[in-house]
């Protein structure tokens, strides 16, 4: 049978596209090189807990249409991301930077007191820059000092950022934290979006729902028999690495990756929160995720006597590792543009998703993007 679409990759982009196409009667075949569907949102079930195998995923959006769409596939729970940071001084702080953080850092209790303290710290940074004859922040460190001051920079930003990017804050561009949220309210919700949550029963249910009605082949790499797979359908939706699609003819795109160390612990509640950041440079990992807190709230945490945690280590990507974050520097951007230019000349291949477009997408914008691309097909 000839398919309308051969979709390479069963991540959120491929699965959403397949769902939309099937809904209008198109025949789709999804091939996936891994032994499971879902791409990076896939969860492993360990000790009856959904473990976010490729990194913690929190769905958040203000787009009501996308929120209603995902909830029509599987209802989402009320998880609200409120990370905690363990600082080099041994104390814990709420994130994002808000009145709770300022109280914990300086003992200030009102927005006015917090503002006064922030102004004092910013002034110090301004004077320092003036002494050095600098008008605009030249790097991330100067930007952070201007935005939030020395105390928070040293305790909550410096170590974490240097671990995450593998470079000194003085060598990182200022724009990374130009929009650092500073909240003068007691609000620990990490996101500003109207909607957030985790699919009830886990992300695999979302992916299974999206792939209903689609033919699927796991453990199948498109490049293992490219000519054969290309003959199966009128059109191809490619969600793998764009440089691999073109046999790396211009060179290899680079990524940053994260290594996870996952451990089952024989106690019901280990750190009391889903996300705890470790902001000291002396701790080798950036954060620890305790997965059960994404789905079990209040006393329900104790309904499972075990828990599963993952330590996250940020590192440079090498062949064989998972390519997670595209590197947005000039070298990689220029290389991507070369691939994009030939991709645009393809008549029967659609490139979509984070690997095919060499672009970081959060889940909700990615789904919206799949909708937009699909609409253009009709
Ligand atoms: P992928 O999920 O990578 O899917 C691509 C699929 O294609 C994979 O399954 C792959 O195996 C398959 N494939 C590739 N090449 C081939 C081939 N040759 N043959 C067959 N199959 C192939 N977003 C949020 O909104 N909130 C979050 O909290 C969040 N956290 C994140 C944390 C991390 C560590 C990362 C990396 C991303 C996070 N995201 C988050 C973003 C989210 O993961 C993406 O938006 C989404 O997963 C991208 O889906 P995709 O389909 O484009 O790619
Ligand atoms: N950040 C920080 N301390 C923290 C958390 C975040 O300094 O405890 C900074 C850091 O520079 C990071 C940026 O804020 O690169 C964005 O962090 P977030 O965890 O939101 O980024 P993501 O992992 O989602 O890209």
| Ordered DSSP codes for 56-111 | ---EEES-HHHHHHHHHHS-B-------EEE-TTS-EEESSSSHHHHHHHH---SH
Ligand 1 pocket test, pick from 32, 39, 216, 356 with the greatest ligand atom count within 8 Å of Cβ, gives: 39
Q: Is the CB of 57 inside a 6 Å radius of any atom of ligand 1?
A: yes
Contact 233, 49 (CB under 8 A): no
Is residue 378 predicted with pLDDT exceeding 70? Answer: no
Atom of ligand 1 at shortest range from CA of 57: 28
Nearest ligand, measured from the Cα of 358 = 1
Helices (H) and strands (E) in the chain, counts: 12, 16
Binding site membership of 12 for ligand 1 (Cβ less than 6 Å): yes
Task: Please say whether the beta carbons of 232 and 29 come within 8 A.
Answer: yes
| Neighbour tally for 248: CB within 10 Å | 12
**Regarding predicted confidence, which is higher, 322 or 104?**
104
- What HEC string does 138-204 produce? CCHHHHHHHHHCHHHHHHHHHHHHHHHHCCCHHHCCHHHHCCCCCCCCCCCCCCCCCEEECECCCHH
Tell me how far the alpha carbon of residue 54 lies from the centroid of ligand 1, in angstroms: 9
| Residue ID of nearest Cα to ligand 2 atom 7 | 157
Residues 163 and 280 sit within 8 Å (Cβ to Cβ): no
pLDDT digits (tens, 9 = 90+) for 238-270: 999 999 999 999 999 999 899 999 999 999 999
Rounded Cα gap, residues 276 and 289, in angstroms: 7
Give the pLDDT confidence of 120-175 residue by residue, as tens digits: 999 999 999 999 998 889 999 999 999 999 999 999 999 999 999 888 999 998 88
Q: How far is the CA of 53 from the centre of ligand 2 (A)?
A: 20
Distance CA 9, CA 347 (A): 20
Is 1 a residue whose pLDDT tops 70? no
- Average pLDDT value for residue range 289-302: 98
pLDDT of residue 321: 87
Active site residues: 179, 183, 256, 287, 312, 360, 362
At 203-249, the pLDDT tens digits run 999 999 999 999 999 999 999 999 999 999 999 999 999 999 999 99
Q: Which of 353, 161, 153 is closest to 239 using CA atoms?
A: 353
Residue 360, helix vs strand vs coil: coil
Q: In terms of Cα–Cα distance, which of 296, 250, 237, 248 is closest to 272?
A: 296
Label residues 7-34 b or e (16+ Cβ within 10 Å = b).
Answer: bbbbbbbbbbbbbbbbeeebbbbbbbbe
User: CA angle at residue 214 from 210 to 215, to 5 degrees?
Assistant: 140
Taking the centre of ligand 2 as the mean of its atom positions, its distance from the CA of residue 155, in whole angstroms, is 13
Cβ–ligand 2 contact at 95 (below 6 Å): yes
């Amino acid at each position: 049978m000839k398919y309308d679409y051969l979709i390479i990759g069963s991540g959120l982009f491929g699965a959403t596209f397949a769902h939309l196409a099937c809904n209008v009667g198109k025949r789709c075949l999804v091939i996936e090189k891994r032994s499971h569907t879902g791409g990076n949102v896939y969860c492993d079930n360990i000790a009856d807990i959904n473990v976010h195998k490729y990194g913690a995923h929190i769905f958040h959006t203000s787009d009501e249409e996308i929120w209603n769409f995902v909830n029509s596939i599987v209802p989402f729970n009320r998880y609200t991301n409120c990370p905690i940071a363990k600082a080099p001084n041994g104390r814990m702080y709420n994130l994002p930077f808000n009145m709770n953080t300022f109280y914990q850092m300086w003992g200030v209790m009102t927005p006015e007191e917090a503002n006064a303290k922030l102004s004092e710290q910013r002034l110090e940074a301004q004077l320092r820059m003036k002494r050095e004859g600098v008008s605009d922040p030249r790097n991330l460190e100067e930007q952070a000092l201007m935005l939030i001051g020395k105390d928070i920079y040293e305790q909550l930003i410096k170590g974490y950022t240097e671990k995450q990017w593998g470079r000194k804050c003085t060598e990182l561009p200022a724009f990374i934290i130009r929009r650092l949220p500073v909240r003068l309210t007691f609000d620990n919700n990490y996101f500003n979006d109207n909607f957030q949550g985790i699919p009830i029963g886990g992300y695999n249910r979302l992916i299974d729902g999206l792939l209903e009605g689609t033919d699927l082949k796991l453990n199948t790499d498109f490049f293992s028999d490219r000519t054969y797979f290309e003959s199966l359908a009128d059109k191809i939706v490619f969600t793998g690495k764009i440089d691999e699609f073109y046999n790396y003819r211009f060179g290899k795109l680079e990524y940053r990756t994260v290594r996870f160390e996952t451990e089952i612990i024989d106690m019901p509640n280990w750190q009391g929160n889903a996300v705890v950041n470790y902001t000291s440079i002396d701790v080798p990992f950036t954060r620890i995720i305790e997965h059960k807190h994404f789905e079990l709230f209040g006393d329900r945490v104790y309904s499972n006597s075990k828990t599963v945690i993952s330590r996250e280590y940020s590192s440079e990507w090498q062949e064989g590792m998972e390519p997670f974050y595209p590197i947005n520097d000039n070298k990689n951007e220029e290389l991507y543009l070369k691939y994009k230019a030939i991709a645009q000349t393809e008549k029967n291949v659609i490139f979509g998703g984070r690997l095919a477009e060499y672009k970081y997408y959060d889940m909700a914008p990615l789904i919206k993007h799949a909708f937009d691309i699909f609409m253009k097909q009709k």
